[in-house]
Structure 1
Amino acid sequence: MPKPAPPHVTARVTALKDHVRHLLTLDEEDIVLIRQLACSEPGCPPLETVVAILPPDGTMRRWTLHHRVDDITPDLLATALALPPSTS
């Protein structure tokens, strides 16, 4: 079972989710997920952060930032979200 995130990471993720909602003008029904994951691909930093939007219609949009959650600034997030997302 994974360990819970430290409180400072949880607070940072909450702030990033709020910023994502603002940048993308999301509705309350849209789910915003932010996960910091280990990256095992060659040349990838050890940790990356995935931002995913799950709207009620089911068309997920996803961005991968090759940074730890603690290193993501509002400007970095805005730049990433301005790029086309991956969709599923």
Structure 2
Amino acid sequence: MGSFRRDASHLASMERVKAITRERFELDEDMPLMVTEVACASPGCPPLETVVVFWTTPDTRHQFKVFKPLDQVDEDDVPFRWMKPALVVPEGYGCDCC
């Protein structure tokens, strides 16, 4: 389930992670990009994690997860640019985040 915090620091963290992601993967401003913080109740899972999803074409969705709260995510947590093809979500793959 996504986080519904809307305070200034949370929104600033969201914009910061979006900017890092856009720069890292060379995404244009018009390419859809979603950053959300989700709670995880599964055993061994961190209480909060950050999910980043972006589309490079209408049918090509990329996704990665950082096992940290949104405000703790930094450049070192975002995958390398050369990993972009490995982040493509296969068609028909179901997940509860997006």
Structure 2 length-normalised TM: 0.74
Asked which structure has the greater RCO (Cα within 8 Å, sep 6+), the reply is 2
Counterparts of 1:41-60 in structure 2, within 5 Å, are 41-60=42-61
RMSD between aligned residues: 2.3
C-alpha distance 30-10 of structure 1, shift in aligned 2 (>3 A):
same
**SS in structure 2 opposite 1:11?**
helix
Deviations 1:41-86 (CA, angstroms, capped at 9, x unpaired)? 211001110000023422111101110011111112245x847325
Number of aligned residues:
87
Would you identify which runs of 4 or more consecutive aligned residues in structure 1 move more than 3 Å? none
Pairing 1:6–2:26 present: no
Stretches of structure 1 lacking an aligned partner (at least 5 in a row): none
Q: Which moved more, 1:48-57 or 1:32-41?
A: 48-57
The gaps in structure 2 that reach 5 residues or longer are 92-98
Q: Which residue of 2 aligns with 1:19?
A: 20
Tell me the equivalent position of 2:73: 72
In structure 1, C-alpha distance between the alignment counterparts of 2:74 and 2:67, rounded to whole Å: 13
CA contact (8 A) 2:60 2:88 kept: no
TM-score computed with the length of structure 1 as normaliser: 0.82
Alpha-carbon distance in 2 for matches of 1:65, 1:26? 19
Asked whether 1:85 is paired with 2:87, we answer yes
